[in-house]
Amino acid sequence: MQYVCEVMQIKDLSGVAKLKIFCDRNKMRICRKIFFYIIIKHMNEINSLLTQYLNYLEIEKNRSIKTRENYERYLKSFIVFAKIEKPQDITLDKVMQFRLHLARESKDGKNLKRITQSYYIIALRNLLKFLTKRDYVVLSPDKIELPKIARRQIEIIEYKELERLLDAPNLNTFRGLRDKAILETLFSTGLRVSELCNLDRYINLDRGEAAVRGKGEKIRVVFISDDAKKAIKNYLDKRSDTIDKLFISLAKENTKEGAKPPKAIGKITSRAVQRLMDFYKRKAGITKKITPHQIRHQFATDLLMNGADLRSVQELLGHSNISTTQVYTHITNKQLKEVHEAFHGKRRK
C-alpha cells in the first residue's frame, strides 16, 4: 500500500506544477529527504542568494569553512521549513513560526538549548542585513529580536586539581613527554584546541612567545611559561620525525621492555587532545568533566585572580569583543574582593 508523503506546488521553467511523492511505510524517512532536496533544488532565487551570502562570509568576512557550513545548515533549515522561494517570502510571521518550531524541536529527546536557537536567528538576521545592503526589499533585520540568553556559567577546577592534572603524565615515556608539553602549553597560553593542533614545530623557545592564527584568521601573540618551555624542550629533544607541527599523533605504543618509541602518524587532532585529557583527569583522581577549552578558562581566571585587567585578558584569549571575556568576571573580581575585605564587618567584635 502506498502513502502520500507530501504534495506541494513548486515553480519551475515550465510554469506551476504539482509534485507528488509516494512512498511505503519503510521508506518514509528517505522519501522525506528526497522531497526536501527537490524543494531546495527548485528554489533557484533564494538558493542563488544564499550561495552569494555564504561566499561573502567566507571571502569578505574571512569566516572559516566550519562557520560557513553552520550558517548554511541554519539558513537551509529555515528555507525548507518556511518554504521560502524568494527574499520577499521572508515575513515576520514565518520567522515567528520558525522560532516556535525551534523551541519545540527535540534532538535525542532533548529540546534545543536557547543558545542553539539563537544561532539560527543570528544567521537569518545577518542574511537579511546582507540582502538589505544589496538593495533587496526584505524584512528589516531589526524587527527580529534575539532571544535573551542567560549568562554562561564557566566551570573550573580547583588549583590543586589542576596541579595534579599537569603532573599526571609519565615522563619516562615519549608519549608522556608529549602529553606533559600539551597540558603545560594549554595552561600557559590559553589556546583553543584547534590553535594548539596547528602550532608550528619551530617556535622560538628562547623568546618564550609564539604567533598564533586564531578565529577569523586573526594573528595574536601568546606567551610560553618557563614550565611549558621546559616540557616542550624535553619533548622535542626526543622527536626524530620530520613533521612540521609541534604536537603529533602517535601510533599505538608497544609496551614491551626495550621497544622503540611509537611512530608519528601526523599532526595531533582535537579529538586526540580530548582523549588524553580524559585519561589524565582519571589518573589524577578528578571526578569533574575536563575539556581542553576548560583549561583555557583556567588560564583566564588565573590571570584575573592575580590582578590582570580585562582588556589584557581579552587580547591574550583572542576575543574580538570584550563582552565575551566578561563571562569570567563572575568567578573573580579582585577589586571587589579587596573592597569587601577592607570595609565589611568592621564593627563586629
What band does 131 get if pLDDT is binned at 50, 70 and 90?
A: very high
Residue 220 φ then ψ, to 5°: -140, 165
Which of 41-45, 101-105, 150-154, 178-182 has the highest mean predicted lDDT (pLDDT)? 178-182
How far is Cα 100 from Cα 246, in angstroms, rounded to an integer? Answer: 47
The catalytic position among 180, 192, 229, 297 is 192
Residue pLDDT, tens place only, 308-347: 888 888 888 888 888 778 777 766 665 566 666 776 666 6
Which of 4-13, 63-72, 304-313 has the highest mean predicted lDDT (pLDDT)? 63-72
How far is Cα 200 from Cα 210, in angstroms, rounded to an integer? Answer: 9
The catalytic position among 101, 129, 164, 215 is 215
Range in 75-79, 180-184, 263-267, 328-332 the model is least confident about? 328-332
Do the domain assignments include residue 302? no
Q: Give yes or no: residues 167 and 262 share one domain.
A: yes
> Taking each helix axis from N to C terminus, what angle separates 65-82 and 114-133, rounded to the nearest 10 degrees?
90
Q: How many other C-beta atoms can be found within 10 angstroms of the C-beta atom of residue 211?
A: 12
Q: Where are the alpha helices (DSSP H) in 284-330?
A: 292-305, 310-317, 322-325
HSE, CB side, 13 Å, CA atoms: give it for residue 268.
26
One-letter amino acid at 172 equals N
Supply the CATH number for residue 211's domain. 1.10.443.10
296 labelled catalytic: yes
Q: Give yes or no: residues 282 and 171 share one domain.
A: yes
In this prediction, residue 339 carries a pLDDT of 66
Q: Give yes or no: residues 227 and 133 share one domain.
A: no
Do the domain assignments include residue 236? yes
CA separation, residue 219 to residues 56, 198, 236 (Å): 21, 13, 24
Do the domain assignments include residue 199? yes
What band does 126 get if pLDDT is binned at 50, 70 and 90?
A: very high
192 labelled catalytic: yes
Do the domain assignments include residue 268? yes
Residue pLDDT, tens place only, 92-112: 999 999 999 998 876 666 778
Last residue of a domain, which of 287, 310, 331? 287
C-alpha cell at 287: 571526578
The catalytic position among 71, 74, 280, 328 is 328
Range in 46-50, 63-67, 93-97, 167-171 the model is least confident about? 63-67
What band does 164 get if pLDDT is binned at 50, 70 and 90?
A: very high
Do the domain assignments include residue 293? no
Helix (H, G, I), strand (E, B) or coil at 336: helix
Average pLDDT over residues 22-28: 48
Range of the domain at 88: 43-143
Q: Give yes or no: residues 279 and 223 share one domain.
A: yes
**pTM for the predicted model, two decimal places:** 0.67
Q: Give yes or no: residues 138 and 192 share one domain.
A: no
Q: Give yes or no: residues 187 and 282 share one domain.
A: yes
Do the domain assignments include residue 109? yes
Q: Give yes or no: residues 183 and 280 share one domain.
A: yes
CA dihedral (270, 276, 277, 278) positive or negative: positive
Supply the CATH number for residue 103's domain. 1.10.150
10 Å CB burial of residue 291 (0-12, 13-18, 19+) is middle
Q: Give yes or no: residues 49 and 104 share one domain.
A: yes
Average pLDDT, the chain: 82
Buried/exposed 260-284: b ≥16 CB within 10 Å, e otherwise: ebbebeebbeeebbeebbeebbeeb
Last residue of a domain, which of 287, 310, 337? 287
Q: Give yes or no: residues 171 and 85 share one domain.
A: no
The catalytic position among 63, 180, 296, 297 is 296
In this prediction, residue 328 carries a pLDDT of 76
Bigger pLDDT: 40 or 171?
171
Do the domain assignments include residue 336? no
Last residue of a domain, which of 241, 264, 287? 287
Q: Give yes or no: residues 65 and 125 share one domain.
A: yes
SS (H, E, C) 134-200: CCCCCCCHHHCCCCCCCCCCCCCCCHHHHHHHHCCCCCCCHHHHHHHHHHHHHHHHCCCHHHHHCCE
List beta partners, residue 213.
Answer: 219
Do the domain assignments include residue 337? no
Q: Give yes or no: residues 121 and 201 share one domain.
A: no
Q: Into how many domains does the chain fold? A: 2
Q: Give yes or no: residues 167 and 75 share one domain.
A: no
